Amino acid sequence: MKVALDTLAALLKSKTNARRAVDRGYVQVLLTIYVDWHRHDSRHRYMLIRKGVLQCIKSITNIKLGRKAFLDANGMKILYNTSQECLAVRTLDPLVNTSSLIMRKCFPKNRLPLPTIKSAFHFQLPVIPASGPVAQLYSLPPDVDDVVDESDDNDDAETETEIETEIDDDKDQHFKNDDIETDINKLKPRQELGRPMEELKMYEQFFPELSENFQELDLVSKEPKPFIPDANLSGPIVVPTASEEHTAEANPSTKEVALKECSPSLTEEYNRRPVSLELPKQDNMKNSSLHQQNDQRNMLPSYQCLSQEIVKGLDRISLQNSAKNDQYYGTGCVVKKESKDNLTTLACSKSCDHVSPCGGSLFEGSSVQLGKLCCTGVDSEEEGDSRSSSSGEHVMLQVSDVSPVHDCDLYLEMVKSTKSIPDYSEVAYPDYFGHIPPPFKEPILERPYGVQRTKICQDIERLIYQNDIIDRVVYDLDNLSCSVPEEADVLKFNSKFESGNLRKVIQIRKNEYDLILNSDINSNHYHQWFYFEVSGMKTGISYRFNIINCEKSNSQFNYGMQPLMYSVQEALRSRPCWTRVGTDICYYKNHFSRSSIAAGGQKGKSYYTITFTVTFQHKDDVCYFAYHYPYTYSTLKMHLKKLESMHNPQQIYFRQDVLCETLAGNSCPLVTITAMPESNYYEHICQFRNRPYIFLSARVHPGETNASWVMKGTLEYLMSNSPNAQCLRESYIFKIIPMLNPDGVINGNHRCSLSGEDLNRQWQNPNPDLHPTIYHAKGLLQYLASIKRLPLVYCDYHGHSRKKNVFMYGCSVKETMWHTSVNAASCNLTEDPGYRALPKILSQTAPAFCMGSCSFVVEKSKESTARVVVWREIGVQRSYTMESTLCGCDQGKYKGLQIGTRELEEMGAKFCVGLLRLKRLSSPLEYNLPSSLLDIENELIESSCKVTSPTTYVLDEDEPRFLEEVDYSAESNDDQDVELADNTGDYEATNQDDGLSDSDSTRTLLS
């Protein structure tokens, strides 16, 4: 009988046979037979026969008529009930898995409950592109329904496409990826200015260090002399590190010194610089058409918020306060705040001992210690790194509980000048209060057995038991008249603040909510970044949140990553931390249909769901959830202002310019950091001007907030007073664009700028009207090339959503050709292997960095990215993208831990240490790099046999194939038989495809 059923299942894979089976009523018959066997096989001896019946049903439901017949025969309820009865017996999992696949395949595709998939916010572009997705978006008639296709009801085409994709996936294991560039002429770097020299001269104003003579400054001496650190320099710039071994308690002497140094207030300690040492303004910058000179007026004194009190009922800070509502007590501040119930105040006082007698405060006698500066710790080099200690590169990094660059008052000032499309008038608590890393480790979450299957079953229950679904809209950006629920047991949501993203919330069950994210402005997709506020919760209740319109086919949420939550009540108890939260987390394909308009012309695609469950600690708390640690544009402005006010101008050359204005009118900062010349003696000025350049950029993709935290670590290390930082400044001139996409960051985009385009795909031909930050960033590099001052290193900081650890992408002709096997003679190419030195150094010094994840292959789909264009057109050999994980590490010191801001900032500091070592290794005295850094032949030959494409084109993103194991068959409609096994686990090995198409072609068992 088993053989007969298997034969029938194989025959029914034919569309013609499947239609005949439907016409003859086989679907109803097969369901009846399956139920009969299910009832009578109480001892589970005939599981193979039961599975054979399910395979026949599965084959018939590959066609649209079969799925309709299955639904008409009440097949959803029948298979749901039988599979629920099988859950208690682990050996019956194959039956449950196959039943779930059939139900998911037959689940009717639903329309996403939105009026349009275009962003809820509109920005009119100054120029409409002639072609591309943005042009198509603007050409759509206003009455077109872009949410679903006209016939988007589980067409046969979807299943056919998935089956074809599975075949392609099998073939893919036998040939190299087509995306790898094989044209040797295109691979060879060719330095091209691209713009006439007369036009590039406009960028001369951004390089005053090349002509500055410092004669007007009262430098230490007219005669050259070695640099002697000043023991009386102002307080230390703190560079947080993730060292666990060396704490303040373990180093009482250093702690005592740090407290002694940091005891004065910031106003007294960091403003000691002589006014006469201010860098003079450049006259040729006053009339610049690119930017306006930064204000040189004195900054208001900045205060550390050492104690904060918030009364119950406070929902959020309002920026629309009149001046008369602002009250200042002594050196503290009080910001008036509007709430629905009453006017309450946020007190910010410098006095640690001040505790309000008000009994209505959210905390009792405790204060938020945001003003405590630091206790010093020593971050040692990696174990066994003998070169580090021998060369004197033992790095002294200071650990802080709260970064001194965060200033609550200054943040509010920065927000007021930030221009957003929705014209935000509120500030999120976490951005105002600041964040400190939690004092405990946050391990990568272990996924419980069967969690995805359980979530899918609960989704199926929505169809079977529709009367149990509340289906109530509780938050809607498209309907401004949407009333806030008054019931005590309904959560309240908000995302109307900088970088916020949440478009709509629907209450599904009493404690379950579907959340819909907003598209990037001038786009109809890129849903992944979220940042929103929740209030009105109760304790002891598990709330389930489902973000239902994600687009990527896989996520680290399937591999232990948790979303982040910030509790205001915890912050008021001196714990202002973003912490990883959530249980029962998984990421899977859902039954909401994506239109071909939103899927690049492909039909039958589905959205994906991130689901997680949270139990809140405090009743009526105000909590914030985020995809990753938020870092807003206003935070960057505050950070740069604080760094400028805190540095020692006799030691550090720090300059902040405005590179250009964005489409929304926000300034794009350009930072220059190097060491001041030892004197204004001629030799010292020459040494100053001839330092090689290091060019850094970050945050071209708004949703990759970890890139900004890495950049923060880099900036703070460069501005620190440590001898190594001074040596680094004396070695290089740093040109840094810390945020390439301010508009996208401000408005909560995930990928694009206001032009609706991925700015990291515009480097080949940037439009000055649509992509001003890229146009002028490239112009800076072109100018350096024109004056023969190519940067030694260019690095663009990014975040990665599908891989663990921190790693780099670089560019190599030879490695690209090795991975293709197209031109065997290419192995005889001569290429300087120095591009591998910096990643190799970082793998030895930075605990989060993984050399094994690095790739130096050049691909066709990446030819317009910063990394490839700067390498190919500008001629920078060491041109990199540095990717930081959103999840955590699976190797090294942080193996098994989720990554936090401390580790990210440490990575930024370690990058600087790597540059210092690169300088020492490549200096004239040590010109030949160590063979251990450059001996790559064997390494590459071995890896070329295994890797098809380390950075395969996925959804227009810099993402390689995903190689981890995952319980993913719930997202597959494949026809491969699931073998019976008594030891069926929740995870099984997959093929080496992460679901690059929507077929999700992995071959695992459904949990």
The band of 599, judged by pLDDT with boundaries at 50, 70 and 90, is confident
Given the structure tokens 């496409």, which residue do they identify?
A: 161
pLDDT at 800 over 60: yes
Q: Could you give the CA distance from residue 771 to residue 471 in angstroms, rounded to a whole number?
A: 41
Which pLDDT score is estimated for 344? Answer: 33
Give all strands (DSSP E) within 594-666, no chain letters: 606-615, 622-626, 652-661
Q: What is the helix (H) or strand (E) element at residue 866, kind and residue range?
A: helix 866-869
Q: Identify which of 172, 152, 73, 148 has the alpha carbon closest to the alpha carbon of residue 108.
A: 152
pLDDT digits (tens, 9 = 90+) for 602-643: 777 899 999 999 999 999 999 999 999 999 999 999 999 999
CB distance 846 to 717 below 8 Å: no
Q: Could you give the CA distance from residue 593 to residue 587 in angstroms, rounded to a whole number?
A: 16
Q: What is the helix (H) or strand (E) element at residue 431, kind and residue range?
A: helix 429-433
Exposed, middle or buried, 383 (CB in 10 Å: 0-12/13-18/19+)?
A: exposed
Q: Could you give the CA distance from residue 743 to residue 245 in angstroms, rounded to a whole number?
A: 40
Paired residues of 674 in beta bridges: 653
Whole-number mean pLDDT of the chain? 76
Exposed, middle or buried, 282 (CB in 10 Å: 0-12/13-18/19+)?
A: middle
Paired residues of 334 in beta bridges: 327, 347
Task: Say whether 152 sits in a helix, a strand or coil.
Answer: coil
Paired residues of 589 in beta bridges: 608
Q: Residues near 18 by Cβ (< 8 Å), separated by ≥ 6?
A: 12, 59, 60, 62, 63, 65, 66
How many of the other CB atoms lie within 10 Å of CB of 207?
A: 20
Helices (H), 292-385: none
Given the structure tokens 């090689």, which residue do they identify?
A: 692
pLDDT at 702 over 90: yes
Task: Please give the angle made by the CA atoms of 129, 131 and 133, to the nearest 5 degrees.
Answer: 90
Q: Identify which of 656, 654, 669 has the alpha carbon closest to the alpha carbon of residue 719.
A: 654
pLDDT at 966 over 50: no
Task: Say whether 658 sits in a helix, a strand or coil.
Answer: strand
pLDDT at 124 over 60: yes
Poorest-confidence range of 50-54, 288-292, 539-543, 818-822? 288-292
pLDDT at 589 over 90: yes
Which pLDDT score is estimated for 846? Answer: 97
Helices (H), 311-356: none
Which pLDDT score is estimated for 831? Answer: 80
Which pLDDT score is estimated for 192? Answer: 72
Could you give the C-alpha distances from 190 to 786, 861, 872, in angstroms and in order?
Answer: 14, 18, 6
- Crossing angle of the two packed helices 451-464 and 75-86, in degrees rounded to 10: 150
CA atoms within a 13 Å half-sphere pointing along the CA-CB vector of 253: 1
Q: Could you give the CA distance from residue 647 to residue 628 in angstroms, rounded to a whole number?
A: 30
Q: Identify which of 217, 239, 292, 268 has the alpha carbon closest to the alpha carbon of residue 649.
A: 217
The band of 231, judged by pLDDT with boundaries at 50, 70 and 90, is very low
pLDDT at 250 over 60: no
More confident position, 600 or 138: 138
- DSSP string computed for 675-706: EPPSSSSHHHHHHHHTPPEEEEEE-SSTT-TH
Helices (H), 205-346: 252-262, 266-269
Which pLDDT score is estimated for 398? Answer: 39
Residue 285 CA, distance from chain mean position: 35
The band of 930, judged by pLDDT with boundaries at 50, 70 and 90, is low
Poorest-confidence range of 608-612, 778-782, 985-989? 985-989
Exposed, middle or buried, 280 (CB in 10 Å: 0-12/13-18/19+)?
A: exposed
Helix, strand, coil share of the chain (percent; to 5): 35, 15, 50
Rounded average pLDDT over 118-123: 93
pLDDT at 721 over 80: yes
The b-or-e profile of 444-475 (16+ CB within 10 A means b, else e) is bbebeebbbbebbbebbbbbeeeeeeeeebbb
793-800 vs 878-885, strand pairing mode: parallel
Give percent of the chain above pLDDT 90.
55
Q: Could you give the CA distance from residue 529 to residue 37 in angstroms, rounded to a whole number?
A: 47
pLDDT digits (tens, 9 = 90+) for 415-433: 999 999 999 999 999 999 9
pLDDT at 258 over 90: no
Which pLDDT score is estimated for 276? Answer: 30
pLDDT at 13 over 60: yes
Residue 81: both structure tokens together: 């009930």
Exposed, middle or buried, 82 (CB in 10 Å: 0-12/13-18/19+)?
A: buried
At residue 439, what are phi and psi to the nearest 5 degrees?
A: -75, 0
How many of the other CB atoms lie within 10 Å of CB of 696?
A: 27
More confident position, 154 or 266: 154
793-800 vs 693-698, strand pairing mode: parallel
Long-range contacts of 459-465 (CB under 8 A, 24+ apart): 459/107, 459/590, 459/591, 460/76, 460/80, 460/103, 460/104, 460/107, 461/80, 462/508, 463/76, 463/107, 463/108, 464/76, 464/77, 464/80
Residue count of the chain? 1007
Q: Could you give the CA distance from residue 502 to residue 487 in angstroms, rounded to a whole number?
A: 21
pLDDT digits (tens, 9 = 90+) for 72-90: 999 999 999 999 999 989 8
Which pLDDT score is estimated for 934? Answer: 52
Task: Say whether 19 sits in a helix, a strand or coil.
Answer: helix
The band of 518, judged by pLDDT with boundaries at 50, 70 and 90, is very high
Residue 785: both structure tokens together: 């090339």
Poorest-confidence range of 399-408, 540-549, 584-593, 666-675? 399-408
Give percent of the chain above pLDDT 70.
68
pLDDT digits (tens, 9 = 90+) for 544-578: 999 999 999 899 999 999 999 999 999 999 999 99
pLDDT digits (tens, 9 = 90+) for 816-826: 888 766 554 54
pLDDT at 238 over 50: no
Paired residues of 531 in beta bridges: 501, 626
More confident position, 457 or 951: 457
Q: Could you give the CA distance from residue 860 to residue 851 in angstroms, rounded to a whole number?
A: 23
Rounded average pLDDT over 936-963: 39
Q: Is-catalytic flag, 486?
A: no
pLDDT at 133 over 70: yes
pLDDT digits (tens, 9 = 90+) for 725-754: 999 999 999 999 999 999 999 999 999 999
Annotated active-site residue in 393, 883, 959, 971: 883
Poorest-confidence range of 192-201, 356-365, 897-906, 948-957? 356-365
pLDDT digits (tens, 9 = 90+) for 272-303: 333 332 333 333 433 344 444 444 333 333 33
Rounded average pLDDT over 332-360: 33
Which pLDDT score is estimated for 923? Answer: 66
Q: Could you give the CA distance from residue 372 to residue 307 in angstroms, rounded to a whole number?
A: 10
Q: Could you give the CA distance from residue 582 to residue 447 in angstroms, rounded to a whole number?
A: 11
pLDDT at 939 over 70: no
